[in-house]
Chain A
Amino acid sequence: MTRFAWLLMLAPLALQAQLALYVVNGGTETAAGPTYNVGTIASGDSRDTRFRARNSGSAPVTITQLAVSGAGFSIVQTPSTPFVIAGGSFQDIYVHFTGTLAASYSANFQVNNISVLLTALVTPTPVVATGPGCGGPDAFTGQIIFGNIQTLQTGACVVILTNLNPQSITLSNIAVSGSGFSLAQILHTPVVLNTGSSFSFTINFSPQSAGLYSGTLTIDARTFPLSGSAFTPSLPPPILEFDPGLPGSGQQRSISMRLPSPSPIAASGALTLSFRPDTSVVADDPAIVFVATGTRSVPFSIKPGETRFLLGGQPEAVFQTGTTSGQISFTVSAGASLTAPAPPAVMTIPPSVVGIDNATATGRIGSLDVQVWGFDNTYSMGAMSFTFYDWAGNVIGAGPVSADFSAQFHAYFSAAPAGSAFQMRVSFPLSTGDPAKASPACQGMPPSLMPVSCFVGSVDVKLSNIAGSATLQKLKFN
């Protein structure tokens, strides 16, 4: 009975002992002892310490006494007393400390009957300010902001430390961390700042790619968040220009590429061409290529500050116009950093009469051969006529001899690998003429050895397609 009475008397004490005080750092609780050192704090800075009053018993505990007494210390973000902590639960209590004067500080922190002596040391620190190239530090967060700069460029931020304290300050550590941020120069520490003196250094922000960047400036015990962002600049649409001259088949032309204003960046990509033929006889013309590559693409590049692109390393790119009428379109590759797609440049190759590159007329015994090298960019040739002249310049026979080789040419064009370029030979079987009518140069030759050129001097060749007719006049026989 007596023993039971003692237990009843002790019950309230047992309940009270269930309240314990901890310090929470990250996710870790550490029992708060009779003293707790808040730490070393730079003058003007503040620090919050998170305590946790935990009720490990099953009965609720009412907090009736909660106070911190001491200069610079205060309780923040915590319910006012009285408040109840249920059994098995806890309540976090935040103690805020700020010190403006360099000195040692202490305070008594009381939670019901738990008492903890809090201590803190405030050290003198310089005033931190920034010069050109950045902003801050923010009054609340201390953040120094570099702003939004171009990738691969460097933003320089001057940081100025001024000692306004009545005593000198020795800084033993000034460091910068974080991707993209670095000190512009090596700082030799310790740095001694006498009263009223200043010290400045530069932080570089050099982002390699677009995005958000963060870092930290550490000055002894103080840290300042660094922030910045980077963008990839883009080019205005390039201007594509052809060399002067009327477009046509069988040409080697050039195209150049420039910007309306100096390029803000180094850029590269590819200029490509495509071809759409007018005819349905062929789907393409393989001769239409850039000569520098032999393909339909040529790399381009430009350096910052320049307006002219290099195409295949040259100021301009030469390309062949082929032998097919249609449209050659030039486009800048999407891989280039462009604000907007560059409008394609188009060179229209108009349909034209048969282009004649070379021609020969050869007289042999028993036949005449007319050879023509040329192209028909309409793929419609075949009709032709020949007017022969004797050695004295008179038309032979009734006039032009007509022929139509459209089927042969269509068959050739359909299978030819070189666009419409062709070499044709037309033979004319002949009977032998009257030796007495031979040219003076052939007089005296045995009639059986007289070539037809003894009788035929020249020929007009007329080649027709849907664009018109091309005529070779007085092609001399040899």
Chain B
Amino acid sequence: MNPLLILIPTVLLAQSGVTTPSIGFILDRTGGIRPVSGLAGNFLVQRSVLNGVLSFSCSSSTCVAKTENALAASGASFPAPSGPALISLDAAGAAVYFRQTGQFARLENGALKMLDVNVPGEVLAVGAGLRIAVRRENGVWIVGSSGSILDSLPPDTQAVLLGSDSIVYATANELALRRSGGIEQRFPASGIRDVYAVSDEWVEGCARFATFALRTAAGREALYVLPEPAGRPRR
């Protein structure tokens, strides 16, 4: 017995029935946030939609960007300590670390709240649940807000992105994706100095001579090179 009556399928054009696929947003070398559309290996980098950005993080539904003196999110702007910030989005909001002042903060429910957390070492990333990647003399560690060591990364780690169920980190010659089960995939990529979340499934790796896009979706992991925005020479 058929339990359902299936009606005629309809493409909902008015509700984005057929649209240009979106990859997410990237931060270009001049501090511009640019939408990226297309598919894996077939990227189109669009014009900048926000300039003067020092660092950022995007999920598939929202972005948080740090400008010189503010944190911009969902059309709102929050006064913030100057300089770049490490940002990690999660389901409820964003964990933020202001590098110049060494302050941790939480952006949630339309408010930016400074946290009383002090972790020794050079903070490389913050993540959900206030996990913190920190470089110390004896290595690179992932610690909790209380300082308890949760994991470690290679000593030559240059940049880290702590996702909810994965860690992306860059060494001198590789970009690595570590799953929560500890399984790692490594991709050759030299000179990555910063990593940013582009969307839920993509991570941007910024190197001096190239901008990489790492697809982190399970089963589709691959590293690509993003086209440089046209007309802008490499520095």
Contact = CB atoms under 8 A, between A and B. Distances in A.
Interface of A: 249-252, 286-287, 289-295, 313-314, 318, 320-323, 357-358, 373-375, 386, 388, 390, 396-397, 401, 403, 405, 408-409, 412, 416-419, 421-434, 437-438, 452, 455-456
B3 A320 contact: no
B4 A430 contact: yes
B193 to A, nearest CB: 18
A437 B3 CA distance: 7
Interface of B is mostly: loop
Contact of A292 (B5, B45, B210, B220): B210
A373 B38 CA distance: 9
Contact of A421 (B10, B39, B232): B39
A320 B232 contact: no
A313 B209 contact: yes
Interface in B1-57: 1-13, 15-22, 37-45
Contacts of A409: 18
Interface residues of B, number: 44
A426 B11 contact: yes
B187 interface: no
Contacts of B11: 403, 405, 408, 424-427
Given A291-B225, A425-B11, A426-B17, 14 more contacts: A252-B225, A294-B45, A294-B229, A295-B231, A318-B225, A320-B42, A323-B39, A358-B220, A374-B39, A423-B20, A427-B12, A430-B4, A433-B3, A438-B3
A289 B4 contact: no
B204 to A, nearest CB: 14
A430 B5 contact: yes
A408 B13 contact: yes
Contact of B42 (A287, A386, A438): A287
Nearest to A385: B9
B230 A294 contact: yes
Nearest to A295: B230
B226 interface: yes
Contact of B21 (A320, A396, A401, A422): A422
A397 B2 contact: yes
B41 A293 contact: no
A423 B21 contact: yes
B91 interface: no
B6 A396 contact: yes
Contacts of B210: 291-292
Contacts of A323: 38-39, 42
Given A291-B225, A408-B13, A431 B4 contact: yes
B7 A252 contact: no
A456 B6 CA distance: 11
A427 B9 contact: yes
